[in-house]
Amino acid sequence: MPNHKIILNSHDLLEKSRGLRFALPQLGEFATGFVVRFHGKAHAYVNQCAHVPVELDWEQGNFFTVAKDYLICATHGAHYQPDTGHCVLGPCKGKSLQVLPVTEQNQQITIHLDKLHK
Ligand code: FES
C-alpha cells in the first residue's frame, strides 16, 4: 500500500530556491511531485504541466523563473503562480497544476496524498 504522506525537513526547502522532488507511485511509475517555498510558505504540486503532461523541470528541482516570481515549465514556458499553481501565462493559461495539501510544523513539511487523483 503506497504511503499517504511525504515528510521532508523544513531546512531543506529555501525561499524561492530549488524545489524538492518526490516520487508519486500512486500516479504511475515515473510520476513525481514537488514542493517549493514562496513567501515563507511551502506549496506542493504534482510535477505535471497543465499543457502537456510532462515534468516542469528539465534541470531537476529548478522550478522558478530567473526573477523568482513564477514557476515555469521548461518545455514551452508556461508560468504558474507559486502559491496557487494557477497558470497565468503560456499555452495552458487559465488551467492549474494539481495542488497537494501541505502542512508544516516542528521543522517538518508534510505533504498529504490522501486526496491524490489521476
Ligand atoms: S508542456 Fe508545459 S508549457 Fe507546454
Q: 52-72: per-residue pLDDT in tens?
A: 999 999 999 999 999 999 999
Distance 92 CA to ligand 1 centre (A): 7
Mean per-residue pLDDT, 15-29: 96
For residue 6, the model assigns a pLDDT of 96
Instruction: Specify if 108 maps to a domain.
Output: yes
Average per-residue pLDDT in the chain? 96
Which of 86, 24, 82, 26 lies closest to 55, judged by CA? 24
Residue 3 has pLDDT above 80, yes or no: no
For residue 115, the model assigns a pLDDT of 80
| Among protein residues, the one whose CA lies closest to atom 4 of ligand 1 | 76
Instruction: Specify if 118 maps to a domain.
Output: no
Cα end-to-end distance, the chain, whole Å: 17
- Domain span at residue 67 reads 5-112
Instruction: Specify if 9 maps to a domain.
Output: yes
Residue 2 has pLDDT above 80, yes or no: no
Instruction: Specify if 117 maps to a domain.
Output: no
Binding pocket residue ranges, ligand 1, CB within 6 Å: 49, 51-52, 54, 73, 75-76, 78, 90-91
| Overall domain count for the chain | 1
| Among protein residues, the one whose CA lies closest to atom 3 of ligand 1 | 76
CATH number reported for the structural domain that contains residue 75 in this entry = 2.102.10.10
For residue 38, the model assigns a pLDDT of 98
Q: How far is CA 115 from the centre of its chain?
A: 16
For residue 71, give the 3-state DSSP assignment: strand
Mean per-residue pLDDT, 39-58: 98
Cell readout for 43 is: 506549496
**% of residues, the chain, pLDDT over 90:** 92
| Among protein residues, the one whose CA lies closest to atom 1 of ligand 1 | 52
